[in-house]
Amino acid sequence: MSLRILLVRHGLSSFNLEHRIQGRDDLSSLTEEGLQQAAATGAALAELRLDAAYSSPLRRALHTAEALLAAQGGGLTPQLDNDLLEVDLAPWTGLLSSEVRERFPEQQRLWREQPEALELQRADGSIYRPIPELMAQARRFADRLLAAHDPAAPGHHTVLVVGHNAILRCLLLVLLDLPASGFRRLRLDNASLSVLNLTVAEPGSARRFSVQIESLNGTAHLHGQPCASHLPAKGPGPRLLLVRHGETDWNRQGRFQGQIDIPLNSNGHAQAAAAGEYLRRLRFERAYSSSMARPRQTAEGILRHHPGVPLTSVSDLVEIGHGHWEGRLEQEIAAEWGPLLADWKRAPETVQMPEGETIHDVWERSLRGWNRIAAGLAEHETALVVAHDAVNKTILCALLGLGPADIWAVKQGNGGVTVIDYPEGADQPPVVVCLNQTAHLGGVLDRTAAGAL
């Protein structure tokens, strides 16, 4: 019983190319490159069976959906939904971004820094707030989507949603139960693919279903063989690449590893090598890893293409201490600590591992280590950070505005790559540029070992 939602932003449009504000007017059209991006996305999804497809009626989105579905080969026709229309920026529509900055400097600053507070005036003189309106619109669409494709229904369903930058960001916030203030924490590039998995929540959970971000803003499928030049472009400010270590035998077996120092297996070394090939064209100024063997070996595999880059061990980034659970399979833990394991799955923030750590302990030290790394980077620098499942999840939850209760909302595959930018500097809010990219390991879905956490 599950629902997979594939979110795709429309391909490159004429207004994207000209750096014009599009909004919800239908003045912009898909470029030839945008059509090619849509077809490439469809080809990347060819192995999947889609149960339904939804699209904004604006032609740049609709033509993306049509070209994608034709290449995907499933024979679906997109269902048009007005609640997938793009944000209403009526006074700015058609203007160059530079013109908006010149003519509306204070409003443009607010749009950049605190978009949920922006107010604009319609032609009839009425004042409105674009992002709160868009959040309500996203919530309506989400409610209808989940009514039509209930995660509790028997079987596994996959649904495609093709829309625009702002509405898809708001849809992500709504599904993750995050406020509009998280709007600028997310990035969605043209024809990017984001994958969400919805399942029935564990008994006793506050919500009816659980949401997991499997991946966010993937663009490697647009370029053939994935390489680092196909990551979303870096802007001003430092950039950090957060990678989970490669596979171990215990990941494959589903054993709780924690702080037992299990090395990579042969597949884990291959994953590290694939990540290294993927990132070889990047320039790293610095590299950091947990002091444990499996992340250090993964970092060393990546850094083979970057001789001279120093690798620093950070003890704050070691994996969660599972205490008496370490080295055990889930069924063994269930036999002795059944209620506590159920709580761990339902409400991880409430659990004290037997002779181990809490997720709050990991949250505090992993964020301390991460923030020190970020604060030490110059504006132009890019750093590699390799750590563990729980550590990466706590870092990413914090960066997304989630809390310790939400660690299951973020997936971290072995060898998966996540990119974080600090466009205004390390002391200002970050942007999750892309999350858990595993295309270098084969395909657009994460097929790495589930492991145990």
Angle at 4 between CA 331 and CA 79, to 5 degrees: 160
Which of 10, 157, 164, 245 is the catalytic position?
Answer: 245
Tell me if 385 sits within 8 A of 216, measured CB to CB: no
Tell me, rounded to whole angstroms, the distance of Cα 348 from its chain centroid: 21
CA-CA-CA-CA torsion sign (140, 141, 143, 147): positive
Q: Establish whether 245 is a catalytic residue.
A: yes
287 beta partners: 311, 384
440 flagged as catalytic: no
Report residue 257 as tokens. 């590893």
Find out whether 435 and 420 touch, Cβ atoms under 8 Å: no
Residue 364, judged by CB atoms within 10 A of its CB (0-12, 13-18, 19+), counts as middle
Q: Which of 319, 326, 388, 440 is catalytic?
A: 319
Please provide residue 53's backbone torsions phi and psi, each rounded to the nearest 5 degrees.
-140, 135
Would you say 11 and 34 are in contact if contact means Cβ atoms under 8 Å apart?
A: yes
Query: What is the Cα–Cα distance from 228 to 278, expressed in whole angstroms?
Result: 5
Convert 35-45 to b/e letters by CB count within 10 Å (16 or more is b): bbbbbbbbebb
User: Whose CA is closest to 320, among 364, 264, 380?
Assistant: 364
Distance (Å, rounded) from C-alpha 258 to C-alpha 249? 13
Contact present, 220 and 439 (Cβ < 8 Å): yes
Name the DSSP class of 79.
E
Residues marked active site are found at 245, 319
